[in-house]
Structure 1
Amino acid sequence: MSYRRVRIAGATYFLTIALRDRDSALLLENVVVLRRTLRQVKHRYPFHIDAMVVLPDHIHAIWTMPKGDVDYSKRVGMMKAQFSRALPQSEYRRASHKQKREKGIWQRRFWEHWVRGEADFRAHVDYIHINPVKHGLVLRACDWPYSSIHRYIRDGFLPEGWATDMPLKDEDR
């Protein structure tokens, strides 16, 4: 059985893109390369980044595709490939990675969710911004430097102390 992705032209999608090694900090160690890669992909295939957070081993993002365009998969693939090519060659690669000309940095698949309406959008933006707190990386969401929360605060959509009084559930600690 193959997985079928939702493809709606001009739609908004919540994405999770993860490294194969979930104990890695590769994304933070190379955040400048990741930002440059995203700019290059956006230049070639435009889309809007509504919200985003870069964590040590994965990215959460909300992307809105241009009117008439459905191909977020192409953009994710380009981002992963260009980021991987910009890094030094790793010592070991499995045969399947060599055959597909992959470095084996990323999980082969990514997760997407079609954002359905304003409440769904808001819930996913909040999820993105609280994620560094949820993972124990900072105590306040606004203290994480690799997050769109700073744009939301600057533009007046969120107060600087957003979610500081939000109790975390036991499973989120």
Structure 2
Amino acid sequence: MGRSRYKIYAEHYPYFITSTIKDGLPLLSNPKLAKTVLDSLTFLQTERKVLIYGYVIMENHFHAIVKGEDLAKKLRLAKSFMAREIIDILRADKNARLLSQIAFRKLKHKLKCDYQVWAEGFHPKQLSNNEMVAQKLEYIHFNPVVRGFVERPEHWRYSSVRDYLGGEGLIPITIYSG
């Protein structure tokens, strides 16, 4: 299955995206590494004019609902930045074990890099109506509950659910209003 299968065709719609750590390594269970994702989502929203309608960060992937111009390029650059930051943090923490695991999992055709943090692509799914957006927001927010990490969505720190309940999450988002 090639990457060409997942494209952003109509930028006036929001998209549900998923980015997964290569081979499911639980890197994002480390708060420093999860903060890299949060910072990148914030940067996308404030500096790159990408609307973030919702997100959840799990131990080995994150989901988000996003909308913006030139979205594929902006997301690709954000993933590249996050990967470099994650590697830099692991190096600074002298985490040779995780660095060697990431290096081992790198695809052989990736000749210009020593590591591969993310699986390829971000699998965008166009959300063409309000019902689809509501379904994906529910999926995102209940992901930690379904996985058995928390009993209620609002107990998961790395999610936009608190914003939708009238509270304040870890990063600013744009509440989807249809």
Would you say same fold, with TM above 0.5? yes
Distance (whole Å) between structure 2 residues aligned to residue 111 and residue 123 of structure 1 = 17
Higher mean C-alpha displacement, 122-131 vs 27-36: 27-36
**Counterpart residue number, 1:73:** 72
TM-score, normalising length from structure 1? 0.77
Q: What is the Cα deviation at residue 43 of structure 1?
A: 4.0
- Of structures 1 and 2, the one with the larger relative CO (CA 8 A, separation 6+) is 2
Q: Answer 1 or 2: which has greater helix percent.
A: 2
Q: What is the Cα deviation at residue 13 of structure 1?
A: 0.4
Q: What is the Cα deviation at residue 14 of structure 1?
A: 0.6
Please, which of 32, 35, 39 is the counterpart of residue 35 of structure 2?
A: 32
1:55-74 alpha-carbon deviations (Å, 9 max, x no partner): 00011110021xxx2x2221
Distance (whole Å) between structure 1 residues aligned to residue 138 and residue 35 of structure 2 = 24
Distance (whole Å) between structure 2 residues aligned to residue 10 and residue 102 of structure 1 = 37
RMSD, aligned CA: 2.0
Paired residues of 1:129 and 1:141 also in contact (CA < 8 A): yes
AA matched with 2:113? R
Distance (whole Å) between structure 2 residues aligned to residue 63 and residue 136 of structure 1 = 26
Paired residues of 1:129 and 1:148 also in contact (CA < 8 A): yes
1:25-61 alpha-carbon deviations (Å, 9 max, x no partner): 2123112222222233334421110010000001111
Distance (whole Å) between structure 1 residues aligned to residue 7 and residue 113 of structure 2 = 24
AA matched with 1:55? M
Identity %: 23
**Counterpart residue number, 1:50:** 53
**Counterpart residue number, 2:138:** 126
**Counterpart residue number, 1:166:** none
AA matched with 1:11? Y
Paired residues of 2:6 and 2:123 also in contact (CA < 8 A): no
Q: How many residues align?
A: 149
TM-score, normalising length from structure 2? 0.75
